[in-house]
Structure 1
């Protein structure tokens, strides 16, 4: 898979990726709108070109309170993200997003474009470790093609004391979920394996 050209579908407003992106951006904006005063930490794993966060942050009133950490393996994509981030306080890491060494516990964690590209066991492992990744909310995505794993993913989050605060319509061919942690977060342990891409 060429993860740079993969982003091209975002430029087609009728594509599944484009419509999913708008849903994710809407939930990011809603999180920023509802956040209390003060800094808002954001972690995006497999951020790619970070079109989700950069589709919201530059014009949002809270943009100066948000210093996101973006992690992606493809240096072409992180180069594009770095160019887009000019003028914003952003940490961009070219590295393995599937290991907690490159993560930081954050108020908002984006797991977008991941769950459709890794084995089900890795999805479960990532969710098992999710209370280490966030102090508040995770936004995630997954295709709704059969077998539709979205209900199972919701159940896995809820087993770890996450409350579902939003889920895209089942009539869409994509799934976007928002889950909020309702118990204190666990300490983030370094060098833990989360997932490995299969494409």
Structure 2
């Protein structure tokens, strides 16, 4: 199971997650969020992780200028909720955010079923299963995941990947390292 740990605010938390087995780390930028970090901090996290894992800049911006600044950081992927268009040939992967009711999308490299946006609200299982079944691209599952319930979510929905944020925190933006390890272990069983 591919695992993305999102809401990273420090290089230390990001490198701990990667060293513990996370496949990707996410940083919230150019968005109103308790976990939003400046682009300079995101650049530090991307540099600290290097090529050891994927780096994903998560944004809800509708500004093309902000998107350009985010892309200049050269993350592995950008996760967006706004309906930006991208050329077919691009240096970054595009993950589009889907909320219940949204149709599957093919104009991206993956989709993430996530109405939670870091609030811990549980995903809609029926909708998530339908998107996994109908999607032409890989599907990430997010929303209310914790070390205690991620195994059940994986069995129920069968996504390509899981994405967790608030379910691993000691405080907003600060990861609880024991929960990080427990979550990764639960995903690999």
Query: TM-score normalized by structure 2?
Result: 0.36
